[in-house]
């Protein structure tokens, strides 16, 4: 029988059943009516077992029995698995119209929708198919970590277990309840922070511990994680600072000033905050982190390259909320804010001073500095880096003035 003939027969068989259920009105086609109940007798062939679930490494013997109407014999049939023809050596004719195939040491399913084991007629037509689900039972989910954005919600993520891949579609359900009392709740919004994550948007209580766990299930079983206990106040994070301003410090070519505000979403709560800054030059992807900012909402970046664009980001860690003893969770970094340092007049033209010249310049500057301190610092109480910076601003201004008067005069 050629493929057209096989198709014609299959079509005819199905059309006969179809016509019993459809009216002649072309608009009456309703797919819910369109699929007649398929009884085994109506199918061109039947595979057994149908859609089995198996452990990796197990073996299977499947049979394909052709309907007598098809006028096909066992020797007219062959098998494919995921489109690849299985060797005839694994076949056995179990009757005039039944062909079996033996599959040994099965690997995990190639796709989660199941491997396709198909019985074909000699001409290549599909007579019947069965989906094989070969895999492993799920493992206990591990590493559950949760965070609450501004104490309003809770997001948790986890790892699927040490082995990971089960080759089968595995469903994860995050459950939670208030400790001691309260019923189990099921998280509804999955994949919000990655493949293995879930978001609980509301109805969370403060000042009470929660029990949280994850159940993994697939066709081969169920595994439940250990229960994690947490208090929302211990896992609070916040939005990144949104109003980060970066500006120059006078004409100081190696410094930038960064200012920001504390997180507004937490303004009504008792908490402390610490901040981190990271910055990088425009043409580099390497960030330099300043992690000793503490709870200040401004900071001066020093030691920068003159005449260079810098990107700056700030993040916040709210901790000790209502006296929580936990370390707090860092927010995301703020969007990068850019600013450039002033161009250095001394290195204009790309020519760095030689070492000897540098020493002479430094000595001269220090001499000038001490003279300036005598004049401007009253006692030692004000002596500090800010005073030094003020002096450098003054120095640069005086250089500028001098350059204007004597353009040929070099430092």
Rg of the chain's alpha carbons, rounded to an integer?
Answer: 37
**Token pair listed for 104:** 């040994």
Closest separation between CB of residue 77 and another protein, Å?
A: 16
Identify the residue among 25, 162, 183, 285 touching another protein (CB under 8 A).
Answer: 25
Verify binding: residue 169, another protein, rule CB under 8 A: yes
User: Scanning residues 46 to 65, which ones bind another protein (CB under 8 A)?
Assistant: 50-51
**Is the distance from CB of 171 to CB of 218 less than 8 angstroms?**
yes
Identify the residue among 1, 18, 297, 390 touching another protein (CB under 8 A).
Answer: 18
Closest separation between CB of residue 156 and another protein, Å?
A: 16
Cis-peptide into 49, omega within 30 deg: yes
User: Scanning residues 74 to 93, which ones bind another protein (CB under 8 A)?
Assistant: 82-83
3-state secondary structure of 271: coil
**Is the distance from CB of 342 to CB of 247 less than 8 angstroms?**
no
Number of residues assigned to the chain: 411
Verify binding: residue 182, another protein, rule CB under 8 A: no
Residues 117-156, mask of contacts with another protein (x by CB under 8 A): -x-----xxx-xxxx-------------------------
Verify binding: residue 305, another protein, rule CB under 8 A: no
Q: How far are the Cα atoms of 146, 179, 186, 223 from residue 183, in angstroms, in the given order?
A: 20, 9, 10, 20
Identify the residue among 32, 325, 354, 374 touching another protein (CB under 8 A).
Answer: 32
Verify binding: residue 41, another protein, rule CB under 8 A: no
**Is the distance from CB of 334 to CB of 298 less than 8 angstroms?**
no
Verify binding: residue 205, another protein, rule CB under 8 A: no
- Across 87-208, where does the E strand assignment appear? 91-95, 98-103, 115-121, 126-135, 142-149, 154-159, 171-178, 185-186, 189-190, 197-200
Verify binding: residue 166, another protein, rule CB under 8 A: no
**Contact residues for another protein, defined by CB under 8 A:** 3, 6-7, 10-11, 14-15, 17-18, 23, 25-38, 50-51, 82-83, 110-116, 118, 124-126, 128-131, 169, 171, 190-191
């Amino acid at each position: 029988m050629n493929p057209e003939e096989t198709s014609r027969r299959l079509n005819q068989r199905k059309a006969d059943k179809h016509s019993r259920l459809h009216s002649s009105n072309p608009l009456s086609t309703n797919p819910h009516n369109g699929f007649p109940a398929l009884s085994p007798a109506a199918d061109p062939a039947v595979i057994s077992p149908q859609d089995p679930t198996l452990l990796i490494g197990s073996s299977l013997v499947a049979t394909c029995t052709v309907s007598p109407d098809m006028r096909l014999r066992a020797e007219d049939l062959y098998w494919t698995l995921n489109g690849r023809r299985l060797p005839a050596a694994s076949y056995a004719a179990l009757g005039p119209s039944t062909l079996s195939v033996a599959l040994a040491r099965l690997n995990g399913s190639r796709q989660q929708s199941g491997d396709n084991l198909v019985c074909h007629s000699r001409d290549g037509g599909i007579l019947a198919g069965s989906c094989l689900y070969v895999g492993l039972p799920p493992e206990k989910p591990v590493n559950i970590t949760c965070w609450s954005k501004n104490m309003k919600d809770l997001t948790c993520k986890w790892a699927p277990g040490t082995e990971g891949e089960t080759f089968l579609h595995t469903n994860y359900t995050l459950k939670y309840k208030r400790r001691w009392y309260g019923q189990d709740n099921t998280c509804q919004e999955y994949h919000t922070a990655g493949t293995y994550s879930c978001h609980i948007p509301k109805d969370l209580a403060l000042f009470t511990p929660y029990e949280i766990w994850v159940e993994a299930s697939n066709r081969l079983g169920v595994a439940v994680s250990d229960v994690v206990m947490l208090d929302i106040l211990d896992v609070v994070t916040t939005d990144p600072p949104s109003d980060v301003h970066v500006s120059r410090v006078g004409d100081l070519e190696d410094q930038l000033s960064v200012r920001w505000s504390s997180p507004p979403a937490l303004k009504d709560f008792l908490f402390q905050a610490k901040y981190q800054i990271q910055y990088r030059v425009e043409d580099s992807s390497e960030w330099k982190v300043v992690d000793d900012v503490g709870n200040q909402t401004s900071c001066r970046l020093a030691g920068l390259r003159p005449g260079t664009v810098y990107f700056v980001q700030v993040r916040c860690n709210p901790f000790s909320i209502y006296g929580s003893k936990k370390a707090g969770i860092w927010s995301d970094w703020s969007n990068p804010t850019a600013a450039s340092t002033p161009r250095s007049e001394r290195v204009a033209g790309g020519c760095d001073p030689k070492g000897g010249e540098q020493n002479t310049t430094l000595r001269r500057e220090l001499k000038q500095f001490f003279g300036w301190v005598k004049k401007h610092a009253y006692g030692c109480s004000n002596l500090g880096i800010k005073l030094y910076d003020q002096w450098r601003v003054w120095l640069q201004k005086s250089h500028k003035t001098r350059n204007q008067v004597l353009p040929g005069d070099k430092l």
